Amino acid sequence: MNPTNPPKPLLLIDVDGPLNPYAAQAQRRPEGYSTHRMRPTGWTQAESRRPLRVWLDHGHGAQLLALADSYELVWATTWKDEANDWIGPHLGLPGLPFIDWPVMHGRAPRGTFWKTQYILEFAGTRPFAWIDDDITDRDREYVDQRHPARTLLLRIDERIGLTRPDFDALADWAA
């Protein structure tokens, strides 16, 4: 690692909640979003025969790409590498690295979200911002106590998805 050119902070991106406001009123697509029907691996194994409804705002891709000057973008989603097949193309994103969760939906230390421990492992000593709809104060405390670099844990309302103030907060933090 070159100390004069440290690596960019990571921007760890969850899909369901931040990019797909899945908890919005089912009968009303959020303004600016388009509806997509998808069958990622985990969904085809689910009980439902219907494809998964995903709402995406195509403008989010350009906003994320604008942040790529300041961040290394990484999928931090249960979609794992399938986010590159199902989500990225609709948003105009290139293939992104992803966190390959060792265990999904398992037990987590100290009442934290199950992803938190793996987020810390993935980030190593790098600064990171993480956008997810399941972040709590316990996750923030856990990360503050254990991570040696700067962090921003940004909880996104799963009924609304990412908004302009969220992108502004990410840009401000990276600066």
Does residue 142 form part of some domain? yes
> Does 2 map to a domain?
no
Q: What 3-state DSSP class applies to 137?
A: helix
Q: Which residue has the higher pLDDT, 104 or 117?
A: 117
Whether 38 maps to a domain, the answer reads: no
Residue % of the chain over a pLDDT of 70: 93
pLDDT of 127: 98
Residue 65 maps to a domain: yes
pLDDT of residue 4 exceeding 80: no
Is 4 domain-assigned? no
Across 98-110, average pLDDT: 85
Residue 2 predicted with pLDDT over 60: no
* pLDDT tens digit sequence for 59-71: 999 999 999 999 9
Q: Closest Cα partner for 130 from 143, 141, 112?
A: 143
What's the gap between Cα 8 and its chain centre?
Answer: 17
Domain membership flag for residue 99: yes
pTM: 0.92
Q: Domain range spanning residue 85? A: 10-22+57-174
Domain with 153 in it: what CATH number? 3.40.50
pLDDT at 21: 96
Structural contact between residues 173 and 129, judged by C-beta atoms closer than 8 angstroms: yes
Is 42 a member of any domain? Answer: no
The model's confidence at residue 47, banded by pLDDT at 50, 70 and 90, is low
Q: In sequence order, what are the beta bridge partners of 154?
A: 131
List, for residues 120-158, the tens digit of each pLDDT value. Answer: 999 999 999 999 999 999 999 999 999 999 999 999 999
The Cα–Cα gap between 114 and 103 comes to: 9
Please state, in angstroms and as integers, the Cα–Cα distance from residue 3 to each residue in 7, 8, 57, 70, 78, following that order.
9, 12, 38, 17, 34
pLDDT band at 45 (very low <50, low <70, confident <90, very high): low
Question: How confident is the prediction for the chain on average, in pLDDT?
Answer: 92
Q: What is the pLDDT of residues 12-34, one digit of tens each?
A: 999 999 999 999 987 677 888 99
Tell me how many domains the chain contains: 1
In a domain, 49, yes or no: no
Banded model confidence at residue 44, pLDDT cuts 50, 70, 90: low
